[in-house]
Amino acid sequence: MSKAAAVSGATFDTEVLQSSVPVLVDFWAPWCPPCRAIAPSLDAIAEEYAGRAKVVKVNTDEEYDLTMRYGISNIPALLYFKDGELKDQIIGAAPQRAIAEKLAKLIG
């Protein structure tokens, strides 16, 4: 079971844009090998930053509107939000340390 909560078009604004803590959003799909490869790293980051940041997942196959809203054309796509604004992103698989460092910068 993933430590990153799934969000949908119905919950995205509340869970991400209105969050009181920074949010890392993983745009992924079940058929995507790089997405599956970074999933354990995202779970570890979600656990490490619990209470200080959130890690959530958006299934691009199920959430077409969100995928289009953020111009996602390649996955995995990791988008970093703080105070309702997109602050940074990583497109493609990246090492856990690189993913965590960007989140840590948003926490301050």
- Residues with active-site annotation: 32, 35
Q: Are 15 and 54 in contact (CB under 8 A)?
A: yes
How does strand 85-91 pair with strand 54-59? unpaired
16-54 in b/e form (b: 16+ CB < 10 A) is beebeebbbbbbbeeebeebeebbebbbebbeebeeebb
